[in-house]
Structure formats: C-alpha cells, structure tokens
C-alpha cells in the first residue's frame, strides 16, 4: 500500500518538508521518487482529463461533506448524511455514462432499488411483526435469506447483469438494512425517506459536477475509438507494401505503425461497455439523444475482422520464406496499391467519423482498391509455373495477395457500415478540402476537370471507359459518370 501513501503524504505535509525529505533520501530511493513523479506527469499528460476527473471527485466529496459540516443541514439529514458521502464515493466515475457502471445508470439504479427495497423492507417488517416478538427474528431471517438468494440469482441473467447489476446489489443491501435495522428503530419511514433523500442529494451533486465541469462522455469515447481503430488499421495497410516488398533493405527503422492494429484485436469488451453506457447519457455536443450507438458495435465487429486479417498478414512480413523475386515483382505494384488504397479508404472513413461528415471521399479509395484487385488478378493470370517457378515457392506471396483481396472486401463492408452510420446520425455533407494525396484516381476513364464557376474547388467528371470493373458494385459508391468532387 506504499503506493497510496506516497502521493498522500507528499500533499498532506508542507512542501518544504517534503523537499528536505527527498534530499535526505539515499540515491536509489531518490531516483525512485523522481521516477514515480515522472510517471505521474506522464499519466496526466497522456490524458489531461484524468487530472480534471480527480479534482472533480475532490470537489464533489467536499461539497457533499457540507451536509455534515454545517449544523442546520445536519439536523434535517441526521446520521443518514453518511449515505450521501457513500453515494458520491461509490457512484462517481470517469465518464458520464461511464466505464464501470455509469453515474446516471448507477443513480437511477440506486434510487429505484433503494425505494423498492425500502417499501419491501417495510412490508417484511409488518409481516414479521404479525408473528409476535419471538417469531419476528426468524421470519425476518427467512425473508432476508430468500430475498438475497433470489436477487443474487437474477444477477446471473446476462441482460440484468449488463444493466441492473448495481441496482440489484443496492436492493439486497437496502432490504437487509431496512428490514433488520427497523427491528431496532421504530421510525422506519422517516429513516427510509431520510436515506433516500440524502442519496438523491449525493447523486445530484455527482451528476451536476460530472456533467457541468469538463464532462467525459462514454459515447464520445466510443465514437473516437471507432475512428482511432480505423486509423490504426489504416497506418498498417499504408505501410504494409513498403515493409513487405522491401524487407531488409531500406525498411523503416520506426516500425511502431505496425503495432497499432493489435489494439483493435481485443477492442470488443471496451466497446460493448461504452455502447451500454452511452445509452444512459443525455444528448450532448454533436450527439443527439437517439444517436445510433449500436451501429458503432457493427463497425467495431467489422474492424476487428479486418484486424484478424492483418494479424495473419503480419505473420508474413518477417517470414523466412523468401518468395522468388520474379513473382514478387509481378504482384508488387498491385498489392502495394491495394494495401495503400485500403489504408487511405480507412483513413478517410476515420476522418469522416471524426468530423461527422458524409464519407464520400472514401468511395474513391474503395473503388481504387477494387480496381487494383482487378490488376492483381490480371497479373496473376499471367503467372505460369513453367519458368521453373514452383507453386510451393510462390505460395507465401500468393497467400499475401489472397489475404489482401479479403481485406478489400472487409474495407468495403466497413465503408458500407460507416455510410449507414452517416445516414442514421445525419452526418453533414461537407465538401472535403483538396489534399495532395487523394486525387490519385485509378479509374481508367477520361477525366474532364471543370472550373466550377465561383466556388474555389475543381469538379472532375469521370466517364468510365473500361467495362467489367464494377463487378461487386457498391450501391453507395460513386456510380459511373457520377460527379466526384475533390
């Protein structure tokens, strides 16, 4: 527990004493203290909302303590004021509809469960009192046993576990306390109403502090995590071509972009929790009250699917099996193109989510990647195994190509589901600014740039000339002859 103590003492004691204490420490301990201070700073820098959250908890607790400090309030609330403090400590969490239960969800659960348990506790009291003074403890004991056992069992229902787990816990707690303590205290109704009102005060303080001072929303976290997941996948795919085809020579020394996708692999539980909590949050900022949070789960599942494919792909980057150069050269261009275009598609989907605009620029990249697949297929058709190339030798390369084709399908599905999200959540239709990377169209068509009157962007109309390229046609992708605004 020395970990708890150090920050506590460092703040509770005067700072000058802490400094002289630090100087008196032997070298190793000093280095440890400095290391600890650094890790504290890093933690705060990584996400400054953490510091704000800590201060918010302090504030809420200090405010609720007024109930005890100030005598007039004390008289009206009595010993039950303890429940307000308890409520704040147990309820207050990081996000508004939060990571482990939700301030609002817990308040709702706690309030309703306390009310229900209080009423039932009174009922149990009354029934027990009918059985005379001697029978009373036994009847109450039986009630507590039955109710606690039955309520605990309901916690195994997945639906109740997900939404009302905390409520059931508080229900058991309050029922036991009310029915048992009522055996002593006569004015049970007064006590129950006191307790409920103090809990409501505690919960109200939590909600006000949590929402009004730099709120952290689970829904916003979910929204951002969907975008950052896609960016992680995109970074990998954009860099994959270079890594795979130039393995050894001139490969980038900073390969951290190859690790990001691993975060996506295990993202499911966090996303499920956040989606559950987001439902408890009122409309805020860019998110309406009925924002389609469920759609994020669909996008998340598709992103993970893509991450699994990348995980397999990654196994081939450092593989010892060297594919013959001739075959590598044949697939290099189209494979690099596929991977890069998929990366770009995911990047622009991610930025569309971030800015909440219709992801129209992604369509171009999805189409480009599909065109690159056609190119790859043409290259593969040209491969013959006659020139002493064995299937066995080129197999790893062929597998990489095969998985890349699967990734294109995944990316197209992701694009579709983001389009669905943009429909459901009414994303704005904002014309993307011209970026130097994006207009790298692969459509084999005549491109006619047209200056669009008074606006400051260029409109390019594509008239597709080659046929058979639109095989897996995406209904939301730009149609042939459709105007693609850059």
Site for a second copy in 268-297 (CB under 8 A): 268-269
Contact status: 399 vs a second copy (CB under 8 A): yes
Strand partners, 357: 428
Instruction: Transcribe 312-354 into DSSP letters.
Output: HHHHHHT-S-PPPHHHHHHHHHHHHHHHHHHHHHHHHHHHHHH
* Least distance CB 51 / a second copy (angstroms): 7
Cα separation, 474 vs 219, in Å, equals: 29
Q: Residue 341 Cβ, how far from a second copy at the closest point, in Å? A: 20
Contact pick of 21, 29, 31, 51 for a second copy (by CB under 8 A):
51
In the complex, minimum distance from the CB of residue 180 to a second copy, in angstroms, rounded to a whole number: 5
> What is the footprint of a second copy within residues 302-331 (CB under 8 A)?
304-305, 308-309, 311-312, 315
Choice from 18, 85, 317, 441 touching a second copy (CB under 8 A) = 85
| Interatomic CA distance for residues 456 and 346, integer angstroms | 27
Q: Which of residues 403-442 bind a second copy (CB under 8 A)?
A: 403, 406
Is residue 69 a contact residue for a second copy (CB under 8 A)? yes
Taking the complex as a whole, how short is the minimal distance between the CB of residue 479 and a second copy, in angstroms? 24
211 binds a second copy (CB under 8 A): no
Note whether 375 binds a second copy by CB under 8 A. no
Q: Tell whether residue 61 is a contact of a second copy (CB under 8 A).
A: yes
**DSSP class of residue 387?**
S
User: Smaller CB distance to a second copy: residue 198 or 348?
Assistant: 198
**Of residues 169 and 480, the one with the C-beta less far from a second copy:** 169
* Residues whose CB is less than 8 angstroms from the CB of residue 384 and which lie 6 or more positions away in sequence, other chains included: none
Q: Does 171 bind a second copy (CB under 8 A)?
A: yes
What is the Cα–Cα distance from 238 to 203, expressed in whole angstroms?
Answer: 48
- Least spacing, CB of residue 172 vs a second copy, in Å: 5
Residue 54 touches a second copy, criterion: CB under 8 A: yes
Footprint (CB under 8 A) of a second copy, residues 216-255: none
Using rule CB under 8 A, residue 173 touches a second copy: yes
C-alpha distances (whole Å) from 143 to each of 146, 172, 284, 313 are: 5, 11, 44, 60
Q: Which stretch binds a second copy (CB under 8 A): 146-154, 197-205, 227-235, 276-284?
A: 146-154
Q: What is the SS3 assignment for 131-170?
A: CHHHHHHHHHHHHHHHHHHHHHHHCCCHHHHHHHHHHHHH
Bridging pattern class, strands 445-451 and 483-485: unpaired
Of 18-26, 62-70, 208-216, 235-243, which part binds a second copy (CB under 8 A)?
62-70
Residues within window 100-129 making contact with a second copy, judged by CB under 8 A? 112-113, 116, 120, 123-124
Nearest to 463 by CA among 447, 475, 450: 447
Residue 62 binds to a second copy (criterion: CB under 8 A): yes
Q: Does 55 bind a second copy (CB under 8 A)?
A: yes
User: CA 406, CA 306: separation in Å to the nearest integer?
Assistant: 9
- Residue 339 CA to residue 225 CA, distance in Å, equals 22
197's CB contacts (< 8 A; 6+ apart) are 77, 80
- Interacting span for a second copy (CB under 8 A) from 49-57, 188-196, 234-242, 416-424: 49-57
Residue 86 engages a second copy in binding (rule: CB under 8 A): yes
Residue 464: φ, ψ to 5°: -60, 135
């Amino acid at each position: 527990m020395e970990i708890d103590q150090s920050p506590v003492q460092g703040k509770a004691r005067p700072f000058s004493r802490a400094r002289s204490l630090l100087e008196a420490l032997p070298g190793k301990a000093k280095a440890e203290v400095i290391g600890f201070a650094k890790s504290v700073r890093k933690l705060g820098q990584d996400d400054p909302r953490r510091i704000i959250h800590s201060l918010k908890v302090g504030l809420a607790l200090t405010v609720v303590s007024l109930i005890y400090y100030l005598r007039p309030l004390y008289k009206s609330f009595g010993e039950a004021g303890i429940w307000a403090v308890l409520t704040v400590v147990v309820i207050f969490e990081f996000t508004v509809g939060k990571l482990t239960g939700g301030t609002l969800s817990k308040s709702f659960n706690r309030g309703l469960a306390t009310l229900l348990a209080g009423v039932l506790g009174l009922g149990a009291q009354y029934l027990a009192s009918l059985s005379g003074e001697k029978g009373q403890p036994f009847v109450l004991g039986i009630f507590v046993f039955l109710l606690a056992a039955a309520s605990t069992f309901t916690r195994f229902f997945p639906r109740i576990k997900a939404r009302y787990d905390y409520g059931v816990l508080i229900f058991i707690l309050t029922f036991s306390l009310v029915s048992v303590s009522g055996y002593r205290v006569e004015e049970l109704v007064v006590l129950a109403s006191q307790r409920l009102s103090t809990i409501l005060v505690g919960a109200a303080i939590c909600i006000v502090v949590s929402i009004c001072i730099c709120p952290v929303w689970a829904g916003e976290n979910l929204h951002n995590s969907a975008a950052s997941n896609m960016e992680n996948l995109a970074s990998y795919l954009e860099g994959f071509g270079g890594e795979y085809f130039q393995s050894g020579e001139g490969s980038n020394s900073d390969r951290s972009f190859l690790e990001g996708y691993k975060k996506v692999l295990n993202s499911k539980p966090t996303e499920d929790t956040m989606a559950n909590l987001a439902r408890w949050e009122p409309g805020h900022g860019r998110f309406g009250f009925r924002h389609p949070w469920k759609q994020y789960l669909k996008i998340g599942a598709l992103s993970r699917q893509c991450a699994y494919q990348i995980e397999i792909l990654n196994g081939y980057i450092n593989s010892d099996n060297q594919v013959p150069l001739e075959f590598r050269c044949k697939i290099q261009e189209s494979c690099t193109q596929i991977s890069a275009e998929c990366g770009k598609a995911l990047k622009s989907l991610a930025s569309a989510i971030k800015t909440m605009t219709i992801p129209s620029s992604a369509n171009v990249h999805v189409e480009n990647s599909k065109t690159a697949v056609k190119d790859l297929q043409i290259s593969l058709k040209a491969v013959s195994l006659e020139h002493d190339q064995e299937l066995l030798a080129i197999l790893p390369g062929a597998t990489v190509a095969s998985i890349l084709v699967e990734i294109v399908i995944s990316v197209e599905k992701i694009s579709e589901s983001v389009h669905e999200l943009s429909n459901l959540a009414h994303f704005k239709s904002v014309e993307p600014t011209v970026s130097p990377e994006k207009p790298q169209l692969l459509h084999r068509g005549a491109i006619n740039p047209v200056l669009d009157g008074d606006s400051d962007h260029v409109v390019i109309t594509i008239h597709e000339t080659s046929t058979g390229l639109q095989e897996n046609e995406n209904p939301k992708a730009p149609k042939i002859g459709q105007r693609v605004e850059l």
